Chain A
Amino acid sequence: MFRATLKSLLARKLRLLLSGLAVVLGVMFVSGAFVLTDTLGRSFDAVFADAYEGVDVNVSAKPRLEVGDFEGEAVAAPVPAETVERIRGLAGVADATGIVAADGARLIGSNGKVVTSFGPPQIGANWVGVSDLVQLREGREPQAADEILVNAALAKAGRVAVGDRVGVLTLEPKQEFTIVGVFGYSGGRDSIGGVNEIMFTTPVAQQLMLGQGDAFTNVTVTAADGVTNDRLRDDIAAALGADFEVKTGAELSADAAATLKEGLSFFNRILLGFAAVALLVGTFLIINTFSIIVAQRTRELALMRAVGAGRRQIIGSVILESVAVGLLASVLGLGAGVGIGALLAYLFGNLSGGLDLAGIAVPPAAVIGAFGVGLIITVVAALLPALRASRIPPIAAMQDVATPDRPLTKITVAGAAVTSTGATLLFLGLGGHAGDNALITILGGVLFAFIGVALLTPMISRPVVGLLGGIFSWWMPGKLGRLNSGRNPRRTAITAAALMVGIALVTGVTVILDSAKSSISGLVQEKINAELVIAGAQTGPRPSTFDPAVLEQTAALPEVALVGGAYGDLAQVGDERTWVGANTNVSMLTQIFGARATAGDISRLGPDQMLISSDVAASRGLSVGSTVPVQLARAEAKTYTVSGIYEAAEFLDPITLPATAAQGFTIPQPMMGFIQLTPGAQAADVLPQVETLLADSPEVSVADQGAFVEQQTEPLDGLLRMIQILLMLAIVIAVLGIINTLALSVLERTRELGLLRAVGLGRAQTMGMITVEAVVISVFGALLGIAVGSGLGAAVVEALRDEGITDLVLPWADMGAMVGLGALVGVLAAVIPAVRAARIDVLGAIAHD
């Protein structure tokens, strides 16, 4: 039995390879994800090990405000200069150096634009001399207050050189400096992990990066001979008390790497998500292929039964085949995954400004994932066809091989049941009835919906395929193609369903994002009463900011009625961490955002007062007169009194603090500015004037409402494009499925093709016939996908109604494009089978038995 299985496997290697390819792609993503995160993880380990190489022990003050994993970096409280002196005097300390180093030093390059890093921080630090790590490459150390050094990576990215006069944005607005030197790092590196770094003199660094003189962000300590780092750490910690964090260099580097790896696991999840999509589509493909193989081997299997093979042996033989395919696909997928993981790591390293990659290795998780997923998917997909194979009666060996047209009742009932399960799960998940399991419930709902619709597809396929094919019926080959596509509804259905998955996901995402865009645009027009908006497109983790002086200058323009800047940050308010805002001008609330007071006075705000939204008031039980302690990132804790409550609405912060509080925010600069014009003033006249005022704030620009919405929703377009590209993979796999189905159909219908050719069907007509068959299947799949995707998208939009997504936008143009894509996919998939069909030797086809 084993040998018979192997032989039949080898006889159909091409076909199995084609279906195996789907699994290969899925496995590729799984193992690629693990290889990528492993490689990047080890690379970051090396980066931080380097960064803290010369540090025996590091001392920093505990941050005033703890922040969560995805809420940005905590701002450490400053370490006073006298603490450095104290540490230096401790026993076991050879030397202690006060360091200023913080994110947010942004160089304006020679093109007038801010040099961005796309991820890694842009460090501004004090120059403390060369070390084992830091090497001066060119120029000299900074001596005057307006002298800086930049690292080689930044010099390259900003196209600046020693002697250049450059602008730098820090906690302060733009200031001008002269580059007096360029430095690099040990091993000839331009940057450590893509970080851009600017070195100031110590007093300047303190003022610009910390916002206060005579203090440091941390202190690096060198141990005296014979003192271990651990010992020194404990001694210093004991001497300084609980307000300081004392860690060895090794601990610090491990902590920093761990934080970054946490972020990397996000990549891992995205890639695994796409692997899941690829594998779902691949499962459809494998079920189809094995079903067809079993149908074609009916005689052979019946003969085996007739000569005494048991049911289990038949099942075993099909399963064995699937194991072989699964193994092969896993091996190939793992190989491809290592390749794609390495490629992505390389791209990532390059994008983030030259991360030195650790060597590519294959982590055990990649191997286990590859074989686990590849084997399980293939075997599970082959189970159903295997069971069917075992039910073939021995008598079938003596009969004509005919694909019996089994009734579709059972499969339709099952499909309806699975679809409604999916719909129920979606309802529960999206409706917020699933609690913490919402995401899993939603994903499960989507999966069930896909499988359910796939099961319903044979039933739907008859009328729809008939209707679709009607378009081609005027042409005989077209009519034949249409009839062929309707011949085996199950096969057509599952092939179309494979395409459906990719198209449905693309459609769903497009519906959601387009609806979001439209809603945002509507809200902006409706709720923001300002003709011009100052804002920047955020390119990194740090939001774009501008010089608040611009606001005053703008206010002085005669056409401007009201202008205000908005600040924001996370803060500890009472016992909860929450978003707080501050406006340069409290009247913005009512004048620009249309806030309506429900209690107290919201038209003014004293330095110790706060305004809250009605939601916050209700959920925290606060009312006018309540006092709440607030801890900001850069300020001492302070208690505010609620002086007014406004009705919660879009664009209104849950808590509004006075403008003075903004100096305690992580980023003490305004992120957005709103300009209201006097009646009769033209936005187009004022815009260039404000543009001029913003010359020294290159991160932002001024725009009218339309352009503002464009700018703010641009990231959504980018996201959409990225998702579309990745989902193309699912569509590519579906194309493989169509090729597979058609190739098998051509094979099955060799004699028929011979007959058609004998009665005068030309080669071009033959190819046309096959192409129509493919196009009918693929357009059917595209239509299904559009329908399912619109449904899913609409469900999500409905669920997000409370979040402000109120418009449901169906992207008709995109849908049309997807039908076109479906047709194109069909044409492409038909090429090989059509050529094969056209090349069929007429005599051989009709003479063969």
Chain B
Amino acid sequence: MMGLPRRPRGTAWTKRREGEDVTATVGRQAQAAARASEVWKVYGSGEAQVIALRGVSCEFEQGRFTAIMGPSGSGKSTLMHCLAGLDSVTRGTVSIGETTVTGLGDAGLTKLRRDQVGFIFQQFNLLPTLTAKENILLPLSIAGRKPDQAWFDTVIETVGLRDRLGHRPAQLSGGQQQRVACARALVSRPQVIFADEPTGNLDSRAGAEVLKFLRNSVREHGQTIVMVTHDPTAAAYADRVVFLADGEIVSELIQPTAETVLDTMKKLDTQVEVGD
């Protein structure tokens, strides 16, 4: 395992000892990289009122890979958007690291996204005018920060894009594009990376590569990742799965497998159907 470069600005970086099992940390009260407390999200009012989140409280520990799952309309994307400061909450508070996101203005949110949050979207992750390398370094360039060459090399090595750095997105396959996006999210070493269905547009092989890469960045580099997905196979790569239904957290799995995730999903579906 490579030696970890120093994290800037003194923020904690949970360094794991060689060979330590991730399960061991589950029981411990690790410090939260992102936290939602009693978060409500209500759209519209009166007749047209839709409650997307009903008092969700949840912590995402540092150095863990958490998946958020749930049927469509369950509020999983809304939760992620609220956590990432992309959407405002109606009630409750959201914080990332030591920053309280709730109540931040545009400048504060921009700084938060720039310094503490990384994003991987389902598609359109890259600027077509920039090369892969420029795309990866984009957040740092925007912030006017110099990349840490050693860390950059590490990231490139891990995503295996060394020979593709000069290519533009149009010259890359979907999987490669998504790996560039992962590298971009990782290179600024954010507090949390939010991934929104990162494999939704990929075939299973390319998807698996991306997921393995995400898992490795958690295991080997202690990166915190929160991923929204509806794919049980993808969720199985995570350390923990949080299930949402109807705007509430209804279940949680530690060390999931595709089967356990699928089972839980089925149960939820039946509950929803019964509920109807």
Interfacial chain A residues near B113, Cβ < 8 Å? 757-760
Interfacial chain A residues near B111, Cβ < 8 Å? 760, 762
Interfacial chain A residues near B63, Cβ < 8 Å? none
Considering the complex, give the chain A residue whose CB is closest to the CB of B106: A763
Whether the Cβ atoms of B110 and A762 lie closer than 8 Å is yes
Interfacial chain A residues near B118, Cβ < 8 Å? 759
- The size bracket of the interface on A is 20 to 34
B124 at the interface (CB under 8 A from A): yes
Question: Looking at the complex, which of A120-128, A476-484, A628-636 is the stretch in contact with chain B?
Answer: A476-484
Whether the Cβ atoms of B144 and A476 lie closer than 8 Å is yes
Whether the Cβ atoms of A760 and B106 lie closer than 8 Å is no
Whether the Cβ atoms of A756 and B127 lie closer than 8 Å is yes
B59 at the interface (CB under 8 A from A): no
How near does chain A come to B121, taking the closest CB pair, in angstroms? 6
19 contacts between A and B (CB under 8 A): A476-B141, A476-B144, A479-B141, A480-B127, A480-B130, A487-B129, A751-B124, A755-B119, A755-B125, A755-B127, A756-B138, A757-B113, A758-B121, A759-B114, A759-B142, A762-B107, A762-B142, A763-B107, A843-B87
How near does chain A come to B146, taking the closest CB pair, in angstroms? 12
Interfacial chain B residues near A361, Cβ < 8 Å? none
B254 at the interface (CB under 8 A from A): no
By a beta-carbon cutoff of 8 Å, the part of chain A in contact with chain B is 476-477, 479-480, 483-484, 486-487, 751-752, 755-763, 765, 842-843, 846-847
| Complex Cα gap A479–B127 (Å) | 12
B81 at the interface (CB under 8 A from A): yes
B115 at the interface (CB under 8 A from A): yes
How near does chain B come to A582, taking the closest CB pair, in angstroms? 73
Whether the Cβ atoms of A761 and B110 lie closer than 8 Å is yes
Considering the complex, give the chain A residue whose CB is closest to the CB of B137: A476
New contact pairs (19) apart from A476-B141, A476-B142, CB-CB < 8 Å: A476-B144, A480-B127, A483-B129, A751-B124, A752-B127, A752-B128, A755-B119, A757-B113, A759-B113, A759-B118, A760-B110, A760-B113, A760-B142, A760-B143, A761-B110, A762-B114, A763-B110, A846-B121, A846-B124
| Complex Cα gap A759–B111 (Å) | 9
Most A CB within 10 A of own CB, among B86, B119, B126: B86
| Complex Cα gap A500–B237 (Å) | 58
Count CB-based A-B contacts (< 8 Å). 73
Known contacts: A759-B142, A765-B142. The answer to whether A484 contacts B129 by CB under 8 A is yes
How near does chain A come to B247, taking the closest CB pair, in angstroms? 18
Interfacial chain A residues near B240, Cβ < 8 Å? none
Whether the Cβ atoms of B138 and A759 lie closer than 8 Å is yes
Mark interface residues in B139-158 (1 if CB within 8 Å of A CB, else 0).
Answer: 10111100000000000000
Known contacts: A751-B124, A759-B139, A760-B142. The answer to whether A480 contacts B110 by CB under 8 A is no
Whether the Cβ atoms of A758 and B141 lie closer than 8 Å is no
Interfacial chain A residues near B128, Cβ < 8 Å? 487, 752
Considering the complex, give the chain A residue whose CB is closest to the CB of B85: A842
How near does chain A come to B207, taking the closest CB pair, in angstroms? 20
How near does chain B come to A747, taking the closest CB pair, in angstroms? 15
| Complex Cα gap A847–B119 (Å) | 13
Considering the complex, give the chain A residue whose CB is closest to the CB of B110: A762
How near does chain B come to A486, taking the closest CB pair, in angstroms? 8
How near does chain B come to A756, taking the closest CB pair, in angstroms? 7
Interfacial chain A residues near B106, Cβ < 8 Å? 762-763
Known contacts: A476-B142, A842-B86, A843-B87. The answer to whether A760 contacts B115 by CB under 8 A is yes
Whether the Cβ atoms of A752 and B119 lie closer than 8 Å is no
Considering the complex, give the chain B residue whose CB is closest to the CB of A838: B106
Interfacial chain B residues near A484, Cβ < 8 Å? 129
B184 at the interface (CB under 8 A from A): yes
The 7 closest A-B pairs by CB, nearest first: A760-B114, A483-B129, A476-B141, A843-B86, A762-B110, A759-B139, A760-B113
Whether the Cβ atoms of B184 and A480 lie closer than 8 Å is no
Interfacial chain A residues near B143, Cβ < 8 Å? 760
Whether the Cβ atoms of B125 and A757 lie closer than 8 Å is no
Mark interface residues in B73-111 (1 if CB within 8 Å of A CB, else 0).
Answer: 000010001000011000000000000000000110011
Interfacial chain A residues near B125, Cβ < 8 Å? 755
How near does chain A come to B147, taking the closest CB pair, in angstroms? 13
Whether the Cβ atoms of A755 and B121 lie closer than 8 Å is yes
